[in-house]
A = this chain, B = another copy of it.
């Protein structure tokens, strides 16, 4: 049943035991061509007896090095959104019999090229990349050697690649509209690095919601370049100390959402709050959140990869997944300021 435990069993061993040639063993294993049932049975028995397992590397090598593994470049493992994407992708690939090679840039985008390159060298069948938000182009087609690339999270101008993204602009617009409908006029928007595609996309949604109602943005309430939760947290303190503080706040990424939530708990704030992306705490504390399904994003990316491996000449596709607002309470708070409604300010 099991092998000897030492020597790796090869097709050759199986062939010898079954008393036939390696070609026939392969034929049985691929059940590609005609093999007489009796021969097939002998081969199967030998395979079983020796515990033979094919060597995927040798197979890949023979096949021009395209088959077994797919790469994923991410910027960090310890972000729930990214981890979710990886989980979804891995699941889908595993079902398709593919393996996942993962590398992380540790938030250092300059490492993206070398990481991608190392995977391409290893002849992954496809490469999924979650590029950092900044719109540099780091993958030049000349270095890809035909390796299909799937971009996760944002498109990249110079590259004719498949893309999976989420409609955060529309989602944020919907969230903003909900707040506007509740009467909020001073809505704070806290965003990440302003050079990033995602920050632009999300602020874009916020702005078009305002613009659609002919409202103008309040510059003091839009804060960009917040990198850490701690920054978001202290920004909230600053905002609430304004002469005319916001009555609602939109947190435009996961870290910011965490920071705002910490501030909210600590200072027992009551203003309306919509977070972006889910965490154990946003759901646990009934925070209204604009939610994307990271696992679904990962699954779709993997599907694109699998399709493209099967049909390399397919035109590039872009899949946009919907984000949706999960209403849990904090985003449904009307203007309940102990100060005065806008437009008729009067000193306290």
A residues neighboring B (CB under 8 Å): 2-3, 5-6, 8, 51, 53-58, 60-61, 65, 68-69, 76-78, 80, 83-84, 86-87, 90-91, 94, 99-104, 106, 117-119, 121-123, 140-143, 145-146, 229, 233, 258-259, 262, 265-266, 279-281, 284-285
Which residue on chain B has the smallest CB distance to residue A81?
A: B78
A-B pairs with beta carbons under 8 Å apart, 29 shown: A5-B141, A5-B145, A8-B65, A8-B145, A53-B121, A54-B121, A55-B65, A55-B123, A56-B122, A57-B60, A57-B122, A68-B122, A69-B101, A69-B122, A77-B77, A77-B83, A77-B87, A78-B84, A83-B83, A86-B102, A87-B104, A94-B103, A99-B101, A99-B118, A100-B101, A100-B103, A259-B284, A262-B285, A279-B280
Across the A-B interface, the 8 shortest Cβ-Cβ residue pairs: A77-B87, A262-B284, A2-B142, A77-B83, A5-B142, A78-B83, A102-B102, A77-B86
Question: B residues within 8 A CB of A279?
Answer: 280
CA gap between A100 and B265 in the complex, in Å: 39
CA gap between A262 and B282 in the complex, in Å: 10
CA gap between A103 and B119 in the complex, in Å: 17
Known A-B contacts A87-B76, A229-B284, A284-B262; A143 and B2 likewise in contact (beta carbons under 8 Å): yes
Contact of A3 among B55, B145, B285 (CB under 8 A): B145
Other contacts beyond A51-B143, A100-B103, A233-B284: 12, CB < 8 A:
A6-B145, A53-B121, A55-B61, A87-B104, A90-B102, A100-B101, A100-B102, A101-B102, A229-B284, A259-B284, A262-B285, A281-B281
Question: B residues within 8 A CB of A68?
Answer: 122
Which residue on chain B has the smallest CB distance to residue A141?
A: B5
CB distance from A63 to the nearest CB of B (A): 11
Contact of A90 among B54, B103, B117 (CB under 8 A): B103
Which residue on chain B has the smallest CB distance to residue A280?
A: B258
CA gap between A101 and B146 in the complex, in Å: 22
Question: B residues within 8 A CB of A8?
Answer: 65, 145
Question: B residues within 8 A CB of A140?
Answer: 2
Q: With a 10 A CB-CB cut-off, give which of A103, A106, A259, A281 has the most chain B CB atoms.
A: A281
CA gap between A141 and B6 in the complex, in Å: 10
CB distance from A6 to the nearest CB of B (A): 7
CA gap between A90 and B78 in the complex, in Å: 12
Which residue on chain B has the smallest CB distance to residue A229?
A: B280
CA gap between A43 and B229 in the complex, in Å: 51
Question: B residues within 8 A CB of A6?
Answer: 145-146
Q: With a 10 A CB-CB cut-off, give which of A55, A61, A83, A91 has the most chain B CB atoms.
A: A83
Question: B residues within 8 A CB of A51?
Answer: 143
CB distance from A75 to the nearest CB of B (A): 11
Question: B residues within 8 A CB of A280?
Answer: 229, 258, 279
CB-based contact B84/A77 at 8 Å = yes
CB-based contact A99/B103 at 8 Å = yes
Known A-B contacts A53-B121, A142-B2, A145-B8; A87 and B91 likewise in contact (beta carbons under 8 Å): no
CA gap between A78 and B83 in the complex, in Å: 5
Known A-B contacts A145-B8, A262-B285, A285-B262; A78 and B87 likewise in contact (beta carbons under 8 Å): yes
